[in-house]
Structure 1
Amino acid sequence: MNRQTSTTMAPVSGGEATRRLLPFAMMVFLGYLTVGLPLAVLPVHVHDRLGFGPVMVGWVMASQSIATLLTRQFGGVVTDTRGPRPAVLIGMLLCSLAALVYGASVWGDCSPEIALVLLFVGRAVLGLGESLLITGALTWCIGMVGPRYAGRAMVWVGIAMFGAIGGGAPLGSVLLKQGGFGAMALAAAILPLMACLLMKGIEPLPLHCGRRLGFFKVVGLIWPYGTGLALSTIGFGTMFAFLGLDYAGHHWTGASLGLTSFGASYVAARLIFGGLPDQLGGLRVAQVTIPLQIVGLVILWLAPHPWIALAGCAILGAGYSLTFPALGVEAVRHLPPQNRGAAMGAYVAFVDIGLGLAGPLAGTVADRVGYPPVFLLGACASAVALAFVPRLPATQENI
């Protein structure tokens, strides 16, 4: 393989950094709609149409994150050795394939058990696709703008991801009503292919020379930041897995609006405050954002009306929005450029750990004491993260 020496691609201004990141945001947005479209309808589909209980709903929702976690190392290796562009392309194609597998669960005359197996297969394929897509996209973005703007790169990729979640949830509900689960699956299969067309206009990165650390060595360097991220993610995971069923249990309508509220608040916080992790340091920002997550989750736990639950979703979105880049800018600065893909893969893997724990744990809680206490579980996990963050070492210089 031809290994080129990296060139300096850091922009001279924040405005130039943003200009370079916008095409990536659009590309990730289209690809990540495959994740967003099923979020509001998949738990209800498994529970109401297939007839399985909340524990199985939790496992279905968690299975994607488990698959993503198990393939983060692969995603980082592909990104560092082949380049971010091939990683993103393969990830997009796998996301499209996953949606087709979803569709097969309803297009064929399947028993509920076979349909459930197909959903698990689709979630596993989507997990691998997401691993390659997000690891490649984050590495590509940071390479295009330089470590100085690593936080901004994470901000814009996150805006695209959660914009896709916030917009995809109600869109998925509309598609479900108009054409059924199969229509949602078909749309989710087409959108990543559209995203692939945008890659033609984005400059590829040269590969970096230098010794590459092993993946688990990378994990050893960034695990303190990842642990805080995983704990913070549990609350976010409980909301996405069980908000729809919580609304149904209260006989409320508009659960998809809760996901939209989360996504809109998430995007707004990043647009307004996205530069703070680079400017103030990630740990200072996290000490503000994690308490916001706790407040949002407590509101969801105690909400007596749906509009109050919407407020809880919005506050949770604003808090979680900057937690990821806040801890991420600290993590990525511990590693040289030739390990950036592994660093991003390892760091984002802690999101998968948090989501993977959230589904089964919250499903067990819901099965025993109902749906509202699952949000209290998430608040407790975020409280542990808040206690953990001040003990993390802060970095002062970019690599």
Structure 2
Amino acid sequence: MSFNTVFSAAKHHSKLQIAGFVSFTFFGYLGIGLPLAVLPIYIHKTLGFSEIVAGIVISLQYISTFIVRGISGKLVDTRGPKIAVVLSMSGFLFSALLMFSAFGSEADRMLCLVLLAVTRLITGCAEGMIGASPINWAMLVVGEKHTATAISYNGIASYGALALGAPLGVLIAGHWGIAYIALWMAVAALAGLVVAVSKKAITGNFQAKPIPFFKVFRLVAPFGICLGLAGLGFGGLSNFITLYYDHFNWSGAALCLSVFSILFILGRLFFANQINLRGGLRVAFFCLITEMTGLAILFLAPHPHVALIGAAITGLGFSLVFPALGVEAVRLAPASNAGAALACYGLFIDISLGVTGPLEGTVINIFGMKYLFLFCALVLLMGVIMVWKLMQQKK
């Protein structure tokens, strides 16, 4: 047997191991994706609240995710990723059961809204725990040299789950009623919990002394800010695309989310290796330009078919931003802070998605729904400029 054959087999085995760990991300984000295309319309149309209220309720998830990320990173570095994953799956399960109660309280619209808000907060806590935990678990097993692959596969799992969950949620709500979405969320969380409990716990054994959390935060901040700017484009699409389509009397908003997610997955599958070949900053620079182009097409789209093209280009552009900048950010921290570094880095996407609802909801109220994606494209331009400056500093 040749060396190349052995190397290829080992590489394939590592990829399978990584896929096994990031399956937890799939279970979690399937639960997040199921109500994604239904909940904004439900809050605005069925319960009768404004777009700003709908945006705030949706964004509550990202606020609690932001708070929990740091706790999760420290927990992973000190006690291992398994406990974080188990806590995450338990949180998703509890959130699903509470959402079922919220939908059952529809007659009292204020009570229903409060329960949905609490549900989003719990979902955010669960997302904060699952965020980087599967990546760290995979890195502890297959080695740090597979960091880019682990981050890429984790993103495929998350956005693949969103691509499946969004249209599936619309289908479930249309055929059986919106309450059944919560039941399917519970099934996904329970499946993830069972698999997590069955896996072997593992912790790192690093010689280097961990550095303080806030020092890690400062190290990764420049890369995280660029990620956060890119996240505003994704947040605008995921949070408001159903209302955007409704504004123009278009149909197929869930398909738009799916097209975004499919191109996101294809981008990671076919181009992830470019990060190792060309460097994270260079890849991130071209990805941000691509995402900005897709958002501009969404703004100019005269009908939903062109909007689908814009969503596809946006998804392709956003696909490698997280791993490309993430690889650069994690390299700055010692191995003993790998969990904290990924958690700190992930905080910026949480901040981004957390402010998306109120910020872009305000933009919509002041300038009109039509200008949502123009605003997103201008924000991406700021990200392009920042990454260009980071490239010059590195040279």
- The TM-score with structure 1 as length reference comes to 0.93
The runs of 4+ residues in structure 1 deviating greater than 6 Å are 393-396
Q: Report if aligned partners of 1:23, 1:198 keep a CA contact under 8 Å in 2.
A: no
Q: Report if aligned partners of 1:11, 1:17 keep a CA contact under 8 Å in 2.
A: no
CA distance 1:265–1:109, change in 2 (3 Å): closer
Q: Which residue in 2 is equivalent to 1:323?
A: 321
Q: What is the deviation of 1:180?
A: 1.7
Q: Superposed, which structure 2 residues align to 1:182-193 within 5 Å?
A: 182-193=179-190
Q: Which residue in 1 is equivalent to 2:88?
A: 91
Alpha-carbon distance between aligned partners in 1 of 2:200 and 2:270, rounded to the nearest angstrom: 28
Overall identity of the aligned pairs, in %:
37
Q: Within the alignment, does 1:60 sit opposite 2:57 as a pair?
A: yes
Q: Report if aligned partners of 1:149, 1:278 keep a CA contact under 8 Å in 2.
A: no
Q: Which residue in 2 is equivalent to 1:72?
A: 69
Q: What is the deviation of 1:374?
A: 1.3
Q: Which residue in 2 is equivalent to 1:6?
A: none
Q: What is the deviation of 1:15?
A: 2.7
Amino acid at match of 1:378: C
CA distance 1:141–1:330, change in 2 (3 Å): same
Q: Which residue in 2 is equivalent to 1:358?
A: 356
Alpha-carbon distance between aligned partners in 2 of 1:168 and 1:354, rounded to the nearest angstrom: 22
Q: What is the deviation of 1:12?
A: 8.8
Alpha-carbon distance between aligned partners in 2 of 1:71 and 1:110, rounded to the nearest angstrom: 33
Alpha-carbon distance between aligned partners in 1 of 2:13 and 2:187, rounded to the nearest angstrom: 31
Alpha-carbon distance between aligned partners in 2 of 1:326 and 1:32, rounded to the nearest angstrom: 21
Alpha-carbon distance between aligned partners in 2 of 1:175 and 1:231, rounded to the nearest angstrom: 33
Amino acid at match of 2:176: G
Match for residue 336 of structure 2 among 335, 338, 341: 338
Q: What is the deviation of 1:358?
A: 1.4
Q: Report if aligned partners of 1:23, 1:202 keep a CA contact under 8 Å in 2.
A: no
Alpha-carbon distance between aligned partners in 2 of 1:108 and 1:46, rounded to the nearest angstrom: 13
SS in 2 for 1:212: coil
Alpha-carbon distance between aligned partners in 2 of 1:274 and 1:160, rounded to the nearest angstrom: 14
Q: Which residue in 2 is equivalent to 1:17?
A: 14
Q: Which runs of 5+ in 2 are unaligned?
A: 1-6
Q: Which residue in 2 is equivalent to 1:107?
A: 104
Q: What is the deviation of 1:101?
A: 1.5
Match for residue 124 of structure 1 among 115, 121, 126: 121
Match for residue 137 of structure 1 among 134, 137, 141: 134
Deviations 1:82-104 (A, max 9, x none): 11011011111101111222111
Deviations 1:3-47 (A, max 9, x none): xxxxxxx99954333122121233321221111111100100110
Q: What is the deviation of 1:141?
A: 2.1
Q: What is the deviation of 1:216?
A: 1.1
Q: Superposed, which structure 2 residues align to 1:274-289 within 5 Å?
A: 274-289=272-287
Alpha-carbon distance between aligned partners in 2 of 1:28 and 1:62, rounded to the nearest angstrom: 20
Deviations 1:162-197 (A, max 9, x none): 001111000000111122221001111110110223
Q: Report if aligned partners of 1:330, 1:395 keep a CA contact under 8 Å in 2.
A: no
Q: What is the deviation of 1:351?
A: 0.5
Alpha-carbon distance between aligned partners in 1 of 2:306 and 2:103, rounded to the nearest angstrom: 35
Q: Within the alignment, does 1:35 sit opposite 2:42 as a pair?
A: no
Amino acid at match of 1:340: A
Q: Superposed, which structure 2 residues align to 1:163-178 within 5 Å?
A: 163-178=160-175
SS in 1 for 2:97: helix
Q: What is the deviation of 1:200?
A: 5.3
Q: Which residue in 2 is equivalent to 1:5?
A: none
Amino acid at match of 1:119: L
Number of matched residues? Answer: 387
Deviations 1:350-380 (A, max 9, x none): 1011111211111011122222211111111
CA distance 1:267–1:395, change in 2 (3 Å): farther
Amino acid at match of 1:270: R
Q: Which residue in 1 is equivalent to 2:4?
A: none
CA distance 1:102–1:90, change in 2 (3 Å): same
Q: Which residue in 2 is equivalent to 1:216?
A: 214
Q: Report if aligned partners of 2:37, 2:166 keep a CA contact under 8 Å in 1.
A: yes
Q: Which residue in 2 is equivalent to 1:250?
A: 248
Q: Which residue in 2 is equivalent to 1:46?
A: 43
SS in 1 for 2:319: helix
Q: Which residue in 2 is equivalent to 1:207?
A: 204
Amino acid at match of 2:227: L
Alpha-carbon distance between aligned partners in 1 of 2:316 and 2:141, rounded to the nearest angstrom: 27
Of residues 281-290 and 142-151 in structure 1, the stretch that sits farther from structure 2 once superposed is: 142-151
SS in 1 for 2:332: coil
Of residues 97-106 and 191-200 in structure 1, the stretch that sits farther from structure 2 once superposed is: 191-200
Q: Report if aligned partners of 2:85, 2:130 keep a CA contact under 8 Å in 1.
A: yes
Q: What is the deviation of 1:203?
A: 4.5
Q: Which residue in 1 is equivalent to 2:345?
A: 347
Match for residue 379 of structure 1 among 355, 377, 380: 377
RMSD: 1.9
SS in 2 for 1:304: coil
CA distance 1:109–1:252, change in 2 (3 Å): closer
Q: Which residue in 2 is equivalent to 1:310?
A: 308
Alpha-carbon distance between aligned partners in 2 of 1:52 and 1:11, rounded to the nearest angstrom: 56
Amino acid at match of 1:365: V
Alpha-carbon distance between aligned partners in 1 of 2:8 and 2:117, rounded to the nearest angstrom: 43
Q: Report if aligned partners of 1:301, 1:372 keep a CA contact under 8 Å in 2.
A: yes
